[in-house]
Amino acid sequence: MAEAAAPAPATAPHAATGALLQVDGVSLEYRTTERVVRATHQVSFDVHAADRFVLLGPSGCGKSTLLKAVGGFIAPIEGEIRLGGQRVTAPGPDRIVVFQEFDQLPPWKTVKQNVMFPLLALRTVGKKEAAERALHYLAKVGLDKFADVHPHQLSGGMKQRVAIARALAMQPRILLMDEPFAALDALTRR
């Protein structure tokens, strides 16, 4: 008579996948005085390092809400979100969000200062390296010639590119972008 094989040891969800980001059974809700709105219901997916992952769906289906949860701005009512195996419970510099709204730049700072700001605020680098990174990423988005102007002197699409440069300068483990190219014209998007 053959012996039954021992059951496999229990592992954490997605532990064997090696995924950088794991979203496991995540449900998100908004509560108003009149009702509860379910934004997502038991959403699960893995994102591996160097992946480009797109959430696609109609307006109002919970894409932005899910990005806010991955960013650590709202907590799931069910399921969990992990980055590098660690549960996401609050915002952190390891995941940067570029939101849809392009008016997210302090107007009193120049473009370069706006890109430098989070680097200096978190004390991740010194002022010289922050300035070098700012100019590098402004060049990547085609705005190095606008480093010394203020946001009110830029178009909406240019402001959005500054926000993207600022996010890239942080060199996060994961970059979350919520319709980041909506304010850009068709030629700039390419």
Can you give the pLDDT at residue 2? 45
pTM for the full model? Answer: 0.79
Residue partners of 28: CB distance under 8 A and separation at least 6: 38, 39, 40, 62, 65, 66, 69, 74, 76, 77
7 is a domain residue: no
CATH number at residue 78: 3.40.50.300
16 in a structural domain: no
Residue that is last in its domain, among 74, 90, 106: 90
Residues 112 and 134 in one domain: yes
Residue-number span of the structural domain to which 51 is assigned? 21-90
Q: Would the pLDDT of 179 be above 90? A: no
**Number of domains the chain contains:** 2
Q: Is the pLDDT of residue 175 over 90?
A: yes
Q: 3-state DSSP call for residue 44?
A: strand
> Which of 67, 90, 113 is at the close of a domain?
90
Q: Tell me if 77 is assigned to some domain.
A: yes
Beta bridge partners of 29: 38
* Domain endpoint, select from 55, 90, 125: 90
pLDDT tier, 7 (very low <50, low <70, confident <90, very high otherwise) = very low
pLDDT in tens, 96-151: 988 876 578 899 999 999 999 999 999 989 999 999 999 999 999 999 999 999 99
Between CA 117 and CA 58 the distance in angstroms is 34
